[in-house]
Amino acid sequence: METLSKLWITSALFLMSLALQAQNITELQAAFSKSYIAENQKNYTQAIDEMKPVYKEDDYISNIRLGWLNYMDKQYGESITFYRKAIALKPYAIEAKFGCVKPLSAIENWEKVKEQYQEILKIDPLNTTANYWLGVIYFNRKDYKSATNLFEKVVNLYPLDYDSVIMLAWAKLNNNSHTDAKLLFQQALIIRPNDSSALSGLQLINKWLEVNLKSPVK
Amino acid sequence: MRKYIILTLIFLPLFGFSQTKLGFQKADSLSYQYYLKGEWNKLITLTNVAFNEGVDSKFMRQRTGYAYFMTGDYTSAEIQYERALVFDRQDEFTKEYLYYSALNSGSENTRLYAGNLSAVAAKKLGIKRFNPVGYINTEYSLKTNQTTTRSNQIYYRFGIQSELGYKISLYQGFSYYEQIISNVLTRQPEYVAIFKWNLNPVWQIKSAYHYLFTNVGNISYPGNLGLIALATHLNRFTFEANASLLKASSVMTKQVGLQAGVVLPGISNIYFTGSLVGMSESGSLRTIYSQTAGLKFSKNLWAEGNITLGNLKNYNTFNSLYIYNSIDPTLFKSGVSLVYFIGKHLSVLGNFTFDQQKMSNSTNNNYYYQYSYSGGLKWKL
């Protein structure tokens, strides 16, 4: 009899917890729904407020959502904080790291942006977005060798992607690989005929060839 | 009752304003507007509120640094550019203005920041990695007293500083000291070498060697001193721990010191440095306390005052540049210095110091006073 009553209590508690969980999920879904409506109306402050009653620090989705909304609301410090919480909760999820890149870029924290891309590439070494944008960071810092390595990975995966081909061409040219650069600029012109960037690159290469391959004056 | 309602209505907007958060967009756009208009004080006030709120960005740090630079508060400018560098280590504007700020504030990190400049910027500014002569300096000092058994003291020094890369510098000084005590001439040629190694903007290691070729009458008492110091630079604060060993004749003097300094915000660059030194010699221990305060009077004129308390027998200061090894120990000293910068290269130093000395060969505790007048020149190449 005693065992039976224990079983009843346990079952009742289990059912209650299921009901509570279901209620929580319903509340969460309702909050997200209201938040999406506010976001679509570009009312980001309200979209954030809709999330607040259901926010739990250990909930990955809520942290991502608040990271994004705070970014849209130009609250970059708060946005970074929420994204960092999400990253800590799911260290192998690259979406939180990509999310964090946005507010970090907005405040021009290129050191941290670089770190996030490097972390993404540790998890997903052939990720085209991370390879491309980390390549752009290195290119802007005149580190053409590192930029070339990263753009090459993207071009190998997507030989017809104009942005990667043209960036690789410029990185090669700045790295004094004129022959490779010429081929890549020509490839860029196939993808995008009359492209001004590719044409100016080829013009520079031709000038360089004129100067460096000229026969010595008698 | 009506009076209270009116007062509440007057002050309500103030409370409202103080509670309103600035936010990134407002801080960023307003700081940019102030930057374009050259409203430096408004910019500084605004961004300081923003930074306290956690609103921060590279551009805001750069603008604030520039505002401090334009108002002449170079230490604050340096701090802001150091923060901007955390956001983007490759930003050429940040690196260049960090160097200018350090140069104008007289920071120990100036050469380190020069090493971060791009090749183009370094060439434009005439900065070289190896510079055999960074500066040369000279100092002459005359110490007078009113005793019959002690003549005036003469001290002079020539020095040359070499930059052995962007992180290491070497200062070498050749000096001479002379005094007649009870009809016996004491002559002391000296050589000092001071190495400074900036590991990074925060940590610095210093070491020094000082040789004393002391001659009292016809007898020589050579002395050797070695020093090592570790210094740290944290925004406005500096801390240093140092230790040195002096062996002169048969006496061994151990000295350990702790030093702390602060530069206050503002265009006057008011600074304070305090140091506490422990001395151990022939089994006896003693302490020395020294306090320095200085400020920038105008763009070209700096002033400094100092006071040192304690028995300074065999005490060394300024990384062992000066060793107080006179036979009559100094018990108290206080002085003022003025440094005037003439153009980009030359600075002139003037100093007056008052000393209280204890007469060493007297059975009673006899004291006398010395008045020191010093002048110096420094030529920065």
Asked whether residue A8 is assigned to any structural domain, the reply reads no
Q: Do A110 and B90 touch (CB under 8 A)?
A: yes
> Contact A110/B55, CB-based, under 8 Å?
no
Co-location of A119 and A45 in the same domain: yes
A168 to chain B, closest Cα gap in Å: 21
Other CB atoms closer than 10 Å to residue A185's CB: what's the count?
Answer: 26
Distance from CA of B40 to the nearest CA of A (A): 21
**Residues of A with CB below 8 A from B88's CB?**
108-111
What is the length of chain B? 381
Contacts of B342 (CB under 8 A, 6+ apart): B300, B348
Domain-terminating residue out of A124, A140, A166 = A124
Q: Are residues A98 and A173 in the same domain?
A: no
Residue in A81, A109, A140 to test binding to B, most B beta-carbons within 10 Å = A109
Which of A75, A77, A140 lies at the smallest CB-CB distance from B56? A77
The distance in angstroms from the start CA to the end CA of chain A is: 116
CA-nearest residue of chain B to A138? Answer: B90
B24 contacts A107? CB cut-off 8 A: yes
Q: How many domains does chain A have?
A: 2
Shared-domain flag, residues A119 and A149: no
Question: Which member of B53, B56, B90 has the closest CB to residue A107?
Answer: B56
Q: Does the distance separating the beta carbons of B54 and A109 come in below 8 Å?
A: no
Interface residues of B toward A, Cβ cutoff 8 Å, are 23-25, 53-59, 86-90
- Say yes or no for a CB contact (<8 Å) between A107 and B88: no
pLDDT at B12: 43
Helical ranges in B38-166 per DSSP H: 40-53, 58-71, 74-87, 92-105, 110-114, 119-124
Rounded distance between C-alpha atoms, residue B251 and residue B63, angstroms: 57
Q: Which of A48, A72, A76 to mutate to test the interface with B (most CBs of B within 10 A)?
A: A76
Calculate how close chain B gets to A110, using CA atoms only, in Å: 5
Contact flag A77-B90 (C-beta cutoff 8 Å): no
The answer to whether residues B67 and B59 touch, using CB atoms and an 8 Å cutoff, is no
Which portions of chain B are predicted below pLDDT 50?
1, 7-18
Are A44 and A98 in a shared domain? yes
The domains located in chain B, with CATH, are: 17-124 (1.25.40.10), 131-380 (2.40.160.60)
Give A140's contacts in chain B (Cβ within 8 Å). 90
Question: Do A82 and A109 have their domain in common?
Answer: yes
Among partner residues B25, B55, B89, which is closest to A77 by beta-carbon distance?
Answer: B55
* One domain, residues A49 and A71: yes
Q: According to the model, what pLDDT value does residue A17 have?
A: 62
Does some domain include residue A103? yes
C-alpha to C-alpha distance for B115 and B362, rounded to whole angstroms: 56
Per-residue pLDDT tens digits of chain A, which is 218 residues long: 566 567 667 666 665 665 556 667 888 899 999 999 999 999 999 999 999 999 999 999 999 999 999 999 999 999 999 999 999 999 999 999 999 999 999 999 999 999 999 999 999 999 999 999 999 999 999 999 999 999 999 999 999 999 999 999 999 999 999 999 999 999 999 999 999 999 999 999 999 988 887 654 43
**Contact assignment for A110 to B86 by CB distance below 8 Å:** no
* Boundary residue ending a domain (A63, A91, A124): A124
Separation of first and last alpha carbons in chain B: 74
Q: What is the predicted pLDDT for the residue at B21?
A: 78
The single residue listed with the structure tokens 């753009």 is A151
- The pLDDT score that the predictor gives to residue A60 is 96
Chain A residue numbers touching B20 (CB-CB < 8 A): none
Nearest CA in chain A to B22: A75
Contact with chain B for residue A116, Cβ under 8 A: no
Based on the domain organization, do A95 and A147 belong to the same domain?
Answer: no
Are A153 and A205 contained in the same domain?
yes
This model of the complex carries an ipTM of 0.79
Query: B93 near B87, Cβ under 8 Å?
Result: no
Q: In terms of domains, do A120 and A135 share one?
A: no
A42 at interface of B, judged by CB pairs closer than 8 A: no
- What backbone phi and psi angles, to 5 degrees, belong to A172? -65, -45
**pLDDT confidence of residue B214:** 95
Say which residue the tokens 């000291």 belong to: B177
| A35 lies in some domain | no
Same structural domain, A119 and A163 = no
What is d(CA B241, CA B227) in angstroms, rounded to the nearest whole number? 11
Q: Do A109 and B24 touch (CB under 8 A)?
A: no
Q: Inter-chain contact A107–B89, Cβ cutoff 8 Å?
A: no
Closest CB from B23, B53, B58 relative to A107:
B58
Which of A72, A73, A84, A107 is best to mutate for the B interface (most B CBs within 10 A)? A107
The whole-angstrom distance between A73's CA and the closest CA on chain B is: 9
Beta-strand pair B367-380/B130-145: antiparallel
Are A108 and B55 in contact (CB < 8 Å)? no
A92, burial (CB in 10 Å: exposed 0-12, middle 13-18, buried 19+): exposed
3-state secondary structure B186-233: EEEEEEEEEEEEECCCCEEEEEEEEEEEEEECCEEEEEEEEEEEEEEE
The range of the structural domain enclosing residue A86 comes to 40-124
Establish, for the pair of chains A and B, how many residue pairs have beta carbons separated by less than 8 Å: 41
Q: How far is B210 from chain A (nearest CA, A)?
A: 44
Task: Please indicate, yes or no, if residue A116 is contained in any of the structural domains.
Answer: yes
Whichever domain contains A78, its CATH number is: 1.25.40.10
CA–CA dist B244, B227 (Å, integer): 4
Q: Select from B20, B22, B24, B86 the residue whose CB has the most chain A CBs within 10 Å, as the one to mutate to test that interface.
A: B24
**Quick one: which of A89, A81, A144 has its CA closest to A112?**
A81
In terms of domains, do A119 and A53 share one?
A: yes
* Contact criterion met (CB < 8 Å) for A111 and B87: yes
Q: With contacts defined as CB-CB under 8 Å, which chain A residues touch B90?
A: 110, 140-141
Domain boundary among A65, A98, A124: A124
User: Does the residue A102 lie in any domain?
Assistant: yes
Considering only CB atoms, which chain B residues are within 8 Å of A107? 24, 56-58, 87
Write the pLDDT tens digit of every residue in B293-308.
Answer: 999 988 899 999 999 9
Cβ neighbours of A75 in B, within 8 Å: 23-24
Residues A102 and A70 grouped into a single domain: yes
Residue B59 has its nearest CB partner, among A108, A111, A140, at: A108
